[in-house]
Structure 1
């Protein structure tokens, strides 16, 4: 059973994702504010948040490597601090290039370290991982419910620059939440052996060493630490002791050479084991799906307010569409994991169904102009996205063990990041969003390809069991 402390860590990770990822979830408000404040095109205004998401994913391998050598919780605290302060320093922005560095590159690198919270949840929860993943990821959605109206209010009162300054201070709450994860994921030092040479030895060990020369205790002859310590405390009284010392020195030289060779061999084996997941076809399928999910969700959250305003809707009705996306998303992340954890549905089946449902909702979205129709589509798209995100990290956790999960997730995010490079290019420069309409249809075929590849490898699996 998962302990109460484990669920406290899950709640802390949920809080971290709520505050640290608030700017990404409020991207529609920030996007419009940047375009209006700096008088730039829609394509230029989309670059800061696009770079934030891009570096969040592309810096994944670096975060994975750092997680193998440094404490994960300290890395998360630093990431929360960097992600928050980079938003506040955007107060000094004079144009989109400055925002591309502060709100894009620096903020994205901070979020890449915050993404280690998935590894923390995976380390602490073993039984209800889908549910825990949904709760942790639910913070990302909860921020999308709470903060878009707050960001719009701050922009109305303080302007875009002042609103970013205040909102960055609000995001610092994620750093406080990261302190609650320190105990479970602290690096545990390796236990020292009882034959440590720095520890004092009893005098009886000297007598046992002398007896080992005559063959009474041959096991002590192979312990150079005991021999070294007794050498420093016992005088050489006869030829047998001198022989023991000579044997010890020879043993030290040979054991040192063997240990060096073995250390190099173990290092090579550890590297091979660390990257063994890249040989699995499932790894690339999951990485591709992560990129598609990030592209679809972040593009919709970026343009939904401007898209609704282009259809003639009032400003606050357009802002409410963000809530209609995030509320079902939150419910799906909290509840969809129970169905797969209880065995009612396979995780891969849930994943594929959500991808197809999300793609279909995106495909029909440009055909409707009324608020009620768009609201219904947002609910479907939000629920499918929430269930898919909750399960994609569980599928990723099944590929690698807990020790290499950070590296595995980082490389997956890096592969998925390339799908985001075209996001500013497909956001329409004109007032009709015509460039947006073909893209969701192409993503429908992308998700259908996911189904085809998944079925193909399942066919190979069953064929191998039948014919081999």
Structure 2
């Protein structure tokens, strides 16, 4: 522990007359040096930074400082060490009159030239440099490190947390787990969870063709089961945003894993096209919705600086499943049939449970640690007697109840303040492109290649080529934006320009090799754009309200996704080709690219680094 040096009040103190201007500066300098070289007891066992007190003393020399604080000059020059309330009053008065900068703009120097975050504990070798010495330099270093370790005084923290609304709300403890080693562990756990619970989606092209062959139904009817998965998942996210207030993400993720596995096994027991459409589309959609909600909320809570990279790792888990399972499922279906394949999918989906056990929200973890600390408090004797205890009785009218209800109603409406932000609707329109492309293309690409005369085993490899580009886009696009090599709006323009060009080029491909290359390029664009939708929600609308913003975002996508089977059935069953569908998706992607070009121009003209579209 640090040695505290206490200052003993001198036995005798003379009251000096008002000194001249030069003597006043000398006295202020002596007082600042005296305060710097000793520990000042403050409220809540906090200690002040020497640079802060030095600025305070230089801002208030002699008369002006005494007039603000209400004491004489002789007491101003000889401050007593135990008078902490007097110093608190000086600092508070200075902040209120805007004569001293608040703690948000105070930047004290730090030992070893590494700035520690507020609340971060320095290492042992950094906290006790030169322990055997007691010179002014060593004391200054310990002062600065103690300032970083314990934080500023209570009166100096005004406006600090309020300015960082996305990471720390007023009156709430900041998140100490952001961008730590545990953040990357949680990112890998989300990828593991996403890997096993999206096998049906990633193998949708193989299952789509198998349902057409086994049950002899139209393509519109076969596409309903895969479209309902995304729709039910979107509406489940809305329910999870409410349940999240009482149930943690870890429990929700475990329940979702069990639901997905049980739904696949239920399709094995009741092997009918109606049951597969309902069970595969609704029950699996509910389980995947719980998984999407938990992974998205947790990954954005654990990351701030490397948020795009963390989301890239998370989404890469689903991409990796496309490398191995489509060719494997194609062989299993040819050997054992579709019914046994569904049982196999249900069994291996249980592997997602170990990853779900690590998806504990950081705020729930902090509350659990605080409860454990409170349980360790040592009990003391209760000196109160029944005669001494008097409970106050409050008498209030109905007007207070009405005021509380009105305040509660206003606070609930404030949660939906993001609906007035135009950037939210831009993100929603961008997400519609991703929702259509990410579901329609894997479902139709195998059937599209077979209609062009490609063999089935070679057509199944197009899903692998799409996943290869998807993985590259998800991993490297986040690195480019996190390292400030490319801004997010520029990345969105580049992504959707390539996206549009790939969809326009796909119908005109004359060879299998050219189709293979286009699917790789499309996968890179889809992977790059897919991770930024939730990142934009977290960066520009806040992490605290992300359960609500993500729920509204997914609700719109769920409603729009209901028309996907009609598009697939219209272009393939009536027109006879998917060319028109791909041209339509390319045109819409080009429109999204134009919107992001406008946003980039507006942002560049304003010369700011944040979206402030009003």
Q: TM exceeds 0.5?
A: yes
Say yes or no: does 1:171 pair with 2:314. no
Report the Cα distance in structure 1 between the residues aligned to 2:184 and 2:400, rounded to whole angstroms.
42
Instruction: Tell me the equivalent position of 1:328.
Output: 469
Moved more, 8-17 or 41-50: 41-50
Instruction: Tell me the equivalent position of 2:585.
Output: 443
Change (3 A) 1:436 1:180: same
- Asked if structure 2 preserves the Cα contact closer than 8 Å seen for 1:328 and 1:379, the reply is yes
Change (3 A) 1:458 1:351: closer
Instruction: Tell me the equivalent position of 2:114.
Output: none
Say yes or no: does 1:395 pair with 2:536. yes
- Asked if structure 1 preserves the Cα contact closer than 8 Å seen for 2:502 and 2:586, the reply is no
- Asked if structure 2 preserves the Cα contact closer than 8 Å seen for 1:324 and 1:375, the reply is yes
TM-score under structure 2 length normalisation: 0.64
Instruction: Tell me the equivalent position of 1:249.
Output: 392
Report the Cα distance in structure 2 between the residues aligned to 1:37 and 1:284, rounded to whole angstroms.
42
Say yes or no: does 1:101 pair with 2:278. yes
CA distances 1:386-436 after superposition (whole Å, capped 9, x unpaired): 011122221121133223212211210111223322222222575797452
Moved more, 292-301 or 174-183: 174-183
Of the three residues 202, 216, 219, the one matched with 1:39 is 216
Instruction: Tell me the equivalent position of 1:289.
Output: 430
Q: Which has the larger radius of gyration?
A: 2
Instruction: Tell me the equivalent position of 1:63.
Output: 240
Unmatched 5+ stretches in structure 1: 205-229, 236-240
Instruction: Tell me the equivalent position of 1:78.
Output: 255
Moved more, 132-141 or 444-453: 444-453
Report the Cα distance in structure 1 between the residues aligned to 2:328 and 2:395, rounded to whole angstroms.
69
CA distances 1:81-109 after superposition (whole Å, capped 9, x unpaired): 11121112111344332112110011111
Instruction: Tell me the equivalent position of 1:412.
Output: 553
- Correspondence list, 1:116-131, <5 A: 116-131=294-309
Report the Cα distance in structure 1 between the residues aligned to 2:399 and 2:604, rounded to whole angstroms.
45
Instruction: Tell me the equivalent position of 1:10.
Output: 187
Instruction: Tell me the equivalent position of 1:362.
Output: 503
How many pairs were matched up? 426
Of the three residues 319, 325, 328, the one matched with 1:150 is 328
Partner SS, residue 69 of structure 1: coil
Instruction: Tell me the equivalent position of 2:519.
Output: 378
Instruction: Tell me the equivalent position of 1:352.
Output: 493
- Asked if structure 2 preserves the Cα contact closer than 8 Å seen for 1:72 and 1:185, the reply is no
Partner SS, residue 357 of structure 2: helix
- Asked if structure 2 preserves the Cα contact closer than 8 Å seen for 1:12 and 1:177, the reply is yes
- Asked if structure 2 preserves the Cα contact closer than 8 Å seen for 1:58 and 1:415, the reply is no
Instruction: Tell me the equivalent position of 2:564.
Output: 423
Shift in Å, 1:438: 2.0
- Correspondence list, 1:271-310, <5 A: 271-310=412-451
Shift in Å, 1:263: 5.3
Partner SS, residue 345 of structure 1: coil
Change (3 A) 1:61 1:402: same
Instruction: Tell me the equivalent position of 1:218.
Output: none
Partner SS, residue 421 of structure 1: helix
Change (3 A) 1:375 1:66: same
Instruction: Tell me the equivalent position of 1:213.
Output: none
- Asked if structure 2 preserves the Cα contact closer than 8 Å seen for 1:84 and 1:172, the reply is yes
- Asked if structure 2 preserves the Cα contact closer than 8 Å seen for 1:277 and 1:399, the reply is no
Report the Cα distance in structure 1 between the residues aligned to 2:363 and 2:313, rounded to whole angstroms.
18
Q: What is the Cα-based RMSD across aligned positions, in Å?
A: 3.0
Shift in Å, 1:170: 0.6
Moved more, 276-285 or 58-67: 58-67
Change (3 A) 1:266 1:14: farther
Report the Cα distance in structure 2 between the residues aligned to 1:426 and 1:147, rounded to whole angstroms.
27
Unmatched 5+ stretches in structure 2: 1-177, 609-613
Change (3 A) 1:348 1:37: same
CA distances 1:129-183 after superposition (whole Å, capped 9, x unpaired): 1100000011111111121122212212221111101111111111221112237
Shift in Å, 1:369: 3.5
Instruction: Tell me the equivalent position of 2:310.
Output: 132
Report the Cα distance in structure 1 between the residues aligned to 2:335 and 2:404, rounded to whole angstroms.
62
- Correspondence list, 1:331-342, <5 A: 331-342=472-483
Shift in Å, 1:349: 1.4
Greater fraction of residues in helix? 1
Shift in Å, 1:58: 3.3
TM-score under structure 1 length normalisation: 0.83
Report the Cα distance in structure 1 between the residues aligned to 2:555 and 2:603, rounded to whole angstroms.
27
- Asked if structure 2 preserves the Cα contact closer than 8 Å seen for 1:22 and 1:143, the reply is yes
Higher relative contact order (CA 8 A, sep 6+): 1
Report the Cα distance in structure 2 between the residues aligned to 1:367 and 1:332, rounded to whole angstroms.
24
Instruction: Tell me the equivalent position of 2:31.
Output: none
